[in-house]
Amino acid sequence: MYFASDNSGPVLPEVMTALADANTGYAMPYGADPIMEQVRARVREIFEAPEAAVYLVSTGTAANSLALATLVPPYGTVFCSPVAHIHEDECNAPEFYSGGAKLTLVPGGDRMTPDSLRATIAKEETRGVHGPVRGPVSITQVTERGGVYSLDELSALTAVAKDFGLPVHLDGARFANALVALGCTPAEMTWKLGVDAVSFGGTKNGCMGVEAVVFFDPARAQEFELRRKRGAHLFSKHRYLSAQMAGYLTGNVWLDAARRANAACTRLADGLRAAGAGFLHEPQANMIFATFPRAAHRRLHEAGARYYLWDGTLDGADDEAVGCRLVCDWSATEANIDRFLELVRG
């Protein structure tokens, strides 16, 4: 019963097989391996973007930071939600890799609204040389609280960015989970709405450790390559990054993994709802933010369930509601979910 995060599960068998298959003979290093060529072609095909620049890095923090650094000057600012991963969970890596650009937080929760974004952008770049210049808007899809922006909501946000002539970055650590939740194509969720760069997650949806960075305008490519090398994220034995992404993107492997994770989340959320749990955010992909009595958390903890408490601890009154975050990955089983729910019910 492991719902701590979608990076605590195992690697997809197709990814492991691809790694094993890649593990014979020799291949050119630093991204010149033939598997990377296949990956580039496959990502371009998936995104219907034949010109796109495609690169691999090993962490989402590197993907976000290097992508944003390519889109913002050191004297600029990035617009994002106050709970954005780039703000709360990357130890200032975006600021570091951009050489000092800052983040401007758009007031609100995990979902930016067009009005709030517009007002926030309008307030920057009003102090001449004394303040930051406006830079990219970074949107997280799936959001940090398990929400999925609809295509209309995304398009309203990118329209605001375009009104100011600003580029748009999408943090897609859970790109596939959002995609299958919306039932749209990768192109519809990105460049067709005006997204310029995507951090395309692999790790949380079943890779060992690989994320792609996609720029729809190849003019950004050379700078990104230089930044990746300077930032120590150009892998020497690169074929092992390529192989993971190749296995992940074979056929519908990546979409099926996300469908399994989202379906597991729905089963868990439905069961929690039936058991009387409250929801801090409406689950729309593979993450749940629920509240239920502390006694149930204690039972779960003692039975070995692992997940994060969101507000509060195991110490205190039995019947007090305590919040938690539950994340399902592709490998979550119905048996484990049902056992978890049984323990919640007591």
Ligand X SMILES: *Cc1c(COP(=O)(O)O)cnc(C)c1O
The answer to whether residue 59 forms part of the interface with ligand X (CB under 6 A) is: yes
87 or 192: CB nearest ligand X: 87
CB 253 within 8 A of CB 12: yes
Q: Is 173 in the site for ligand X (CB under 6 A)?
A: yes
Q: 85 or 227: whose CB is closer to ligand X?
A: 85
Binding span for ligand X by CB under 6 A among 60-68, 152-160, 229-237, 273-281: 60-68
Provide the residue type at 189 as one letter.
M
CA distances from 327 to 58, 259, 263 (A): 21, 14, 12
Q: Pattern 201-230, binding to ligand X, x per CB under 6 A?
A: --xx--------------------------
Interaction residues for ligand X, span 10-49 (CB under 6 A): none
Residues 36, 61, 97, 325: which binds ligand X (CB under 6 A)?
A: 61
Q: Please choose, out of 58-66, 100-108, 268-276, 297-305, the segment that lies near ligand X by the rule CB under 6 A.
A: 58-66
Q: Is 144 in the site for ligand X (CB under 6 A)?
A: yes
* Binding of residue 244 to ligand X (CB under 6 A): no
Alpha-carbon span 338 to 175, nearest angstrom: 27
Residue 140 sits in the site that holds ligand X (CB under 6 A) = yes
138 binds ligand X (CB under 6 A): no
Task: Answer for the pair 161, 137: CB distance below 8 angstroms, yes or no.
Answer: yes
Q: Does 324 bind ligand X (CB under 6 A)?
A: no
Residue 243 to residue 323: CA distance in whole angstroms: 39
How far apart are CB 307 and ligand X at their closest, in Å?
15
Contacts to ligand X from residues 71-130, by CB under 6 A: 85
Instruction: Give the integer Cα–Cα distance in Å for 132 and 129.
Output: 8
60 binds ligand X per the rule CB under 6 A: yes
Is the four-CA dihedral 137, 139, 144, 147 of positive or negative sign?
positive
Q: Which is nearer to ligand X, 8 or 116 (CB)?
A: 8
Shortest distance, position 140 Cβ to ligand X, whole Å: 5
| Count, residues in the chain | 346
Q: Choose one: 18-26, 53-61, 292-300, 307-315; the region binding ligand X (CB under 6 A).
A: 53-61
What 35-39 contacts at long range (C-beta under 8 Å, 24+ apart), as own/partner pairs, is 35/239, 35/242, 35/243, 35/246, 36/238, 36/239, 36/241, 36/242, 38/242, 38/246, 39/212, 39/242, 39/245, 39/246, 39/249
Contact between 177 and ligand X per CB under 6 A: no
- The stretch among 44-52, 56-64, 67-75, 257-265 that binds ligand X (CB under 6 A) is 56-64
Distance CA 102, CA 341 (A): 43
Distance in Å, CB of 296 to ligand X, minimum: 26
Q: How far apart are CA 14 and CA 207, in angstroms?
A: 9
Name the residue whose CB lies closest to ligand X: 60
Return the amino acid letter for 136: P
57-76 burial, b at 16+ Cβ within 10 Å, e below that, comes to bbbbbbbbbbbbbbbbeeeb
Tokens of residue 293, six digits: 């009595």
Residues lying near ligand X in the complex (CB under 6 A): 59-61, 64, 85, 140, 144, 171, 173, 203-204
